[in-house]
Structure 1
Amino acid sequence: MSHTAGRTTSESDRALHARLTGFLSDVELDGVKATGERLIDAAGGIEELPGHKVMVAYGGGKDSTYVVAFVRAVQLHLAVHYDRTFTLRVANMRHAGVPLAVMENIDRVYRALGLLDDERAELLTIDHTLVRPFRVDLPLPEHLVAINRVDVLMNGHRAAGDGRPTFCNSCNLAVADFYGRAAWFDGGVDAVMTGDSRREQLLYSAWIMRLAKACGVDVAECRSMGFQGILTALRGIGDSYFRELFGDDSDTELAEREVSTGDRSLQPEFVSIYDLVSYRVHDHWDLIVDFLGFRFDDLAFSFSESDCANPTLMAHLRGLRSQHVQGRSYDDGISEYLELAEELMRKKEMPQNLIDLALSRYDSPEKRAHRRALSADFAREAFGLSEDALVAMVCSPFTDRGERLQDFLDRCHPARSAEADRLHAVLRAETGDDAEAVSWLEEVSGLTITHLRTLYGSFLVDFGNTETIISRVRAGDPHKHRVATVDPRTGAPALELISGR
């Protein structure tokens, strides 16, 4: 859209452009200009640029904040120098693990970049299938929270609470669905700007296709379909994944989680800015923190990014597993998770001050106790999960036909120790109407008796082989590390491969 508001809008653009680009290096300014020229060519010339629509997926973390700022700089550069520019769609995805602090960061960034009242900006919040204009206090749909809660519990019981399978597997498939819905909403977009390098995109695409092929997807057909083909492959992976999690006859769960694949006639181009910029946050700290008002929240900033609080819960689950499954202390598990977290932060080249900030929140017994209480509160408020439900998840007492049920009762609910046979009968659906036992099982686990019976007929995933899609996904996930621990059976030193974020 051209500047229909006339001189005032143009002056506003020039002032904002000057302030924003004042935080960019010469290399970044060259990148802004090069990206602008590329978009002019893609649109078919400067006169066609107002009809061109560019999307940025905004997770609300520090890295995607930088991408939003960079693309806004490109939009303003074109407006100032050519009196023509593109429409910018910024879409943010939410789930139950996204605290209000993330939305407040997004709101501050939008305000600093002048996006909230710019007619050339489309700011969307996507809550699963619900697409709405951004508003900082937009309530999270209860239905989405319920889906997220069930996914965390079902994944967590199969993985004994290991971080990535518990929180990220279903979420990553939801991200694919988000991209489809965001890119094709209301006529679609022409381009998607990303901070991922071309190499990262190719490696990710190859991994998706390998996984899809193992799930029986026609990957040759997918490869001929561009972006939609990637989403189609991910839909096939998701179908196999959720069948493994919920069972073949779980039509409702499968339909709720199906990845959207969009419209084949509209194929947005993916444009990487990776080679044009630096992603080290300390290279543009003044831009992100001082100009954009980004804050590293106590919950939302957890080890690797600043877009959700689930990594805090991953650490919490490791502590609970150490305490309730292995008979060690909660702090032992936290120390092991911090070893993983520090390794991941260094691999991501996070600045030392942020590494120190993340680790310092656990550097005394008092702080660890505070983090434990904070984690428990967040699990309850965000997902509706009690500590009993989290403990049950790390113990995984229902899988493998309740192989660990007696031990779980003895350790965590000794008043029920003598009722193992009764509970087994309920889980096998052999009893008529044992309402009290059903009620207790549902209360202690956070799951319905239907889901508990599905777990009873499932098995705890062995991540040492790749016979299941759940184990294959983690096998290809780089966010893992062997931590020094103790074999709970022998007390001898041991190494354990754990995952997290």
Structure 2
Amino acid sequence: MTATHDQAMNYVYQQMLQRLLGFFSRAERTALQLLIQRLVVSAGGFERIGDYKVLAIQSGSRDSCYTLALLRAAQLSIAGRAPATFQLRVATLRLNGTASTALENIHRSCSALFLYDDPRVEVLMVDNREVLPFNHLAPISEAGRESNRLNLLMVGHRRAWDGPLDLWDDGYLATGEFYGQIARWDKGVDALISSDTPRRQKQFLEGLNRAAAKAGLKTPDPHETGYECLFARLDELGSDCYREFYPESAQAAWRPSDRFETCRRTTFIDIHDMLVSNLEDRWPLLTDFLGFQPDELSAQLSDNDYVSLSISAHPRGLQACFVHGRTYERGVGEYLQRALVMMRRKQVPERFCEQAMETFGNPMTMTDQRALAAAEAQKNLGLSEAQLVCLLFAPFADNGAALEHFLRQCHPGMLVALPDLHRAMQGGPAPEQVLQWMVDVSGLPVSLIGTLYRMGPLVRDEGGALVMESGDVGVQAETTEPDSGATVAGEWSTGR
């Protein structure tokens, strides 16, 4: 680009910055100055800031879009007072459960902040371990969709049928692997910037450890609860977190392979204390400037970041129906009641509680909700209702320990084929009809069902930690009381 073009673009960026700052309160402007100071110190001074690159993970959530705006304000503010400013890498992981609204929020935020054409900014996405320019219109690749589907099932089946309903733990493992690899791609980054609260950091690391244990990996020391230890943990887990499930080269490698650094130098900069304004004060910036379109009910009610609210509720109803012998409506109703308790404890506006009750608390609409959730799970996750029910029972792991129970509850006509099923999972011959039934009911090829069959049980030690047969520690169970503000079993943190 010519000097004239650069000068013109810098003028455009500064004009945009002034408009952005117009949405900041006095407290936010003060927080911005503290953020600039924190970044400059981390870089080693203004003279080195031009060579400093930070990573911001963008999920399309309310908080990630707000954090991106704060970082962009810092980047352009430094550019206005120093010869150079830090470089910014914005990265998104494409998963099957990612909603189109989230991708559109990312695109609108990047457009409003003039990120796409700024050479100091990279806007990237990862699809099936391939690093690509971000494109909110591009559907996830077929290979990526199938890989995500298999990973979800393999990790999800590594649980006891009567244990916690943590079906979506694969999201933690995929995200952790993504953090580790995108941080070292193309000369790497110097720092990961995150506004996640200490509570959310702890929840993510616990989920990562739990998923790693399910994937048969040696899990790290569970006592660290913040992202300061994140990259050390990811180094221990390695670049392929699914290697115990699949034969060598069965999954795509990270690529372009020649653009990944061998040694990572990334540190963590915590800026959760920079989000000083209350949520209501942020809405003008989010909606009027960034074009953010909220799904506040999902943000307040969903118990994880990896599937939609309706899919989160759906297995609760299926579990009540098929596992506990109650009604689907009862299971979803209990899910709703737990959510309402947490929402009111967090002093969420009552309108969201009323909206949740209207959506999930009306028995007259529950049949329609179930059908919609089943259709969404099939479309987005590639899982039928029968395969979700199979996932609830996790019948294949630990030498098929729960297989007979699963058949008696859901497929009594297959009890006669129980010896054939065990023989097939052990790698022996079995009738074609039996093999096809295994594939149809699970969504997995017989070879991967056999892998699950041979993997030992996951148990909890005396302290409540998830432990593999080798004795490696997975994740500590929650034992704190509700009044302490920490998570308790069956509860979650509301808000995004």
How many residues in Structure 1 have an aligned counterpart in Structure 2?
472
**In the alignment, structure 1 residue 34 sits paired with structure 2 residue 56:** no
What does residue range 347-362 of structure 1 map to in structure 2 within 5 Å? 352-362=350-360
Measure, in 1, the Cα distance between the counterparts of 2:303 and 2:58. Answer: 13
Conserved in 2, the CA contact under 8 Å of 1:479 and 1:499? no
Quick check: 130-139 or 147-156, which moved more? 147-156
Could you tell me which residue of structure 2 aligns to residue 490 of structure 1? none
Could you tell me which residue of structure 1 aligns to residue 238 of structure 2? 235
Could you tell me which residue of structure 1 aligns to residue 181 of structure 2? 181
Partner amino acid, structure 1, of 2:327: S
1:442 to 439, 443, 446: 439
2:272 to 261, 271, 274: 274
Measure, in 2, the Cα distance between the counterparts of 1:100 and 1:121. Answer: 23
Change (3 A) 1:403 1:119: closer
Change (3 A) 1:266 1:388: closer
1:365 to 360, 363, 373: 363
Measure, in 1, the Cα distance between the counterparts of 2:114 and 2:311. Answer: 34
Measure, in 1, the Cα distance between the counterparts of 2:66 and 2:250. Answer: 36
Measure, in 2, the Cα distance between the counterparts of 1:85 and 1:284. Answer: 26
Deviations 1:191-212 (A, max 9, x none): 3221135798699889989999
Could you tell me which residue of structure 2 aligns to residue 488 of structure 1? none
2:411 to 410, 413, 420: 413
Measure, in 2, the Cα distance between the counterparts of 1:165 and 1:306. Answer: 10
Conserved in 2, the CA contact under 8 Å of 1:96 and 1:148? yes
Could you tell me which residue of structure 2 aligns to residue 88 of structure 1? 88
Measure, in 1, the Cα distance between the counterparts of 2:164 and 2:146. Answer: 19
Change (3 A) 1:315 1:189: same
Partner amino acid, structure 2, of 1:324: F
3-state DSSP class of the match of 1:5? helix
Q: How much has 1:55 moved relative to structure 2? A: 1.8
Give TM-score, length-normalised by structure 1. 0.79
Q: How much has 1:369 moved relative to structure 2? A: 2.9
Instruction: Flag structure 2 segments of 5+ consecutive residues without an equivalent.
Output: 223-227, 483-487
Instruction: Flag structure 1 segments of 5+ consecutive residues without an equivalent.
Output: 220-224, 482-495
Could you tell me which residue of structure 2 aligns to residue 468 of structure 1? 467
1:319 to 309, 317, 320: 317
Change (3 A) 1:424 1:233: closer
Q: How much has 1:331 moved relative to structure 2? A: 1.2
Could you tell me which residue of structure 2 aligns to residue 114 of structure 1? 114
3-state DSSP class of the match of 2:375? helix
Q: How much has 1:18 moved relative to structure 2? A: 2.0
Change (3 A) 1:405 1:381: same
Could you tell me which residue of structure 1 aligns to residue 75 of structure 2? 75
Q: How much has 1:215 moved relative to structure 2? A: 3.6
Change (3 A) 1:30 1:4: farther
2:453 to 451, 456, 461: 456
Q: How much has 1:447 moved relative to structure 2? A: 1.1
Could you tell me which residue of structure 2 aligns to residue 493 of structure 1? none
Partner amino acid, structure 2, of 1:130: E
Measure, in 1, the Cα distance between the counterparts of 2:305 and 2:438. Answer: 33
Runs of 4+ residues deviating >6 angstroms: 1-4, 161-164, 198-212, 216-219, 253-257, 477-481
Conserved in 2, the CA contact under 8 Å of 1:63 and 1:281? no
3-state DSSP class of the match of 2:330? helix
Deviations 1:361-419 (A, max 9, x none): 21212443333223212221122111111111113333454454444334433444543
1:378 to 373, 376, 379: 376
Could you tell me which residue of structure 2 aligns to residue 492 of structure 1? none
Measure, in 2, the Cα distance between the counterparts of 1:306 and 1:156. Answer: 14
Change (3 A) 1:412 1:72: same
What does residue range 263-302 of structure 1 map to in structure 2 within 5 Å? 263=261, 266-278=264-276, 280-297=278-295, 301=299
Change (3 A) 1:307 1:466: closer
Change (3 A) 1:499 1:156: farther
3-state DSSP class of the match of 1:165? coil
**In the alignment, structure 1 residue 338 sits paired with structure 2 residue 325:** no
Measure, in 2, the Cα distance between the counterparts of 1:167 and 1:108. Answer: 28
Change (3 A) 1:411 1:469: closer
